[in-house]
A and B are shown apart, each in its own frame.
Chain A
Amino acid sequence: MKNLHLFFLFFILVFISPISSLAQKPQGDDSDCVVCGEATYKVTKISGPSLVTEKFQTYLTSAWAYSDRYVWSETTTTTLQITGGATFDITEAIKNQLNLSWSKSKSYSVAIQIPADKNKYSKLGLFGDFNKYYVKVVKDKFGQETTSHHDAYEPTSTHYLKVVYKN
Chain B
Amino acid sequence: MIKKSFLIFCTLVSFLILGCQSEHIKGFIVFGKWDGVYVAKKDDPFVLNFILLSDSPLTNVTSIDFPEISHAIEDMQYDLIEGDKYKDFQLFNIAVNLRLQEVSSAILSKITLIFDQKYKETFPIGQIKLAVDEKGIFTPQNEYVTAYPNTQFFQAKLKNISNHTIQIKGVTVENTYLQTKDVKINDKSEKRSVSPNETINMYFTLAEKAEQNAHFYIVTPKIEYELAGKASSTYIDPVFYGMTNLTKEKLDDILKQN
Main secondary structure of the interface of B (DSSP, over half): strand
| B residues near A163, Cβ cutoff 8 Å | 140, 143-144, 146
**A99 to B146 CA separation, bound complex (whole angstroms):** 32
B248: contacting residue among A107, A113, A115, A165, CB under 8 A: A107
A-B contact count, CB below 8 Å? 108
Q: Does A22 contact B (CB under 8 A)?
A: no
Contact code string A25-66 (vs B, CB < 8 Å = 1, else 0):
000000000000000000000000000001000000000000
Which chain A residues lie closer than 8 Å to B25 at the CB level? none
Is A141 an interface position by the 8 A CB rule?
no
Determine if B148 is an interface residue (Cβ-Cβ < 8 Å): yes
Residues of B within 8 A of A108 (CB): 83-84, 86, 91, 246-248, 251
Specify which of A110, A111, A160, A165 is in contact with B147 (CB 8 Å cutoff).
Answer: A160
A158 / chain B contacts, CB cutoff of 8 Å: 149-150
A112 and B244 in contact, given A68-B44, A117-B237 (Cβ under 8 angstroms): yes
Question: A108 CA to B141 CA in the complex, in Å?
Answer: 31
Cβ-defined partner of A110 (8 Å) among B44, B51, B240? B51
Given the contacts A110-B93, A161-B145, A115 and B84 also touching, CB distance less than 8 Å: no
Least CB separation from B81: chain A residue: A111
Let me know if B84 and A109 touch, CB within 8 A: yes
Which residues of chain A are within 8 angstroms of B112 by Cβ–Cβ distance? none
Q: Does A167 contact B (CB under 8 A)?
A: yes
Contacts of B47 in A (CB 8 A): 68-69, 113-115
Contact with B along A126-167 (1 / 0, CB 8 A): 010000000000000000000000000000011111111101
**CB-defined contacts of B14 to chain A, threshold 8 Å:** none
B105 in the interface (beta carbon within 8 A)? no
A82 within 8 A of B: no
Report, as a range, how many residues of chain A touch the other chain. 20 to 34
Residue A71 CB within 8 A of the other chain: yes
How far is B44's CA from A127's CA once the two chains are assembled, in angstroms? Answer: 27
Q: Which chain B positions have C-beta within 8 A of A120? A: 139
Residues of A within 8 A of B238 (CB): 115
CB neighbours (8 Å) of A68 from chain B are 44-45, 47
A114 with B246: in contact, given A160-B147, A162-B145, A165-B144 (CB under 8 Å)?
no
Q: Which residues from A are CB-within-8-Å of B97?
A: 69, 113
C-alpha gap A165/B156 in the complex (Å)? 12
CB distance A167 to B237 under 8 Å? no
Chain A residues with CB below 8 A from B142, complex form: 164-165, 167
Q: Give B44-72 interface residues, CB cut-off 8 Å to A.
A: 44-45, 47, 49, 51
B44, B82, B86, B244: residue with the most chain A Cβ atoms closer than 10 Å: B244
> What CA separation (Å) do A163 and B237 show in the bound complex?
11
Instruction: Digitize B228-258: 1 where CB-to-A-CB distance is under 8 Å, 0 elsewhere.
Output: 0000000001101001111110010000000
A71–B247 Cα distance when bound, in Å, is: 20
* Known A112-B95, A113-B95: A165·B140 in contact at CB below 8 Å: yes
Closest 5 CB pairs of A and B: A110-B83, A161-B147, A108-B246, A115-B47, A113-B95
- What are 6 A-B interface contacts by the 8 Å CB criterion? A112-B93, A113-B97, A114-B147, A162-B144, A165-B141, A167-B142
Residues of chain B having any CB pair with chain A under 8 Å:
44-45, 47, 49, 51, 79, 81-84, 86, 91-93, 95, 97, 139-150, 155, 237-238, 240, 243-248, 251
Instruction: Knowing that A72-B147, A106-B246, A110-B84 touch, tell me 15 more A-B residue pairs with CB under 8 angstroms.
Output: A68-B44, A107-B246, A109-B84, A109-B246, A111-B83, A112-B93, A112-B240, A112-B244, A113-B47, A113-B49, A114-B240, A117-B237, A118-B44, A157-B149, A160-B148
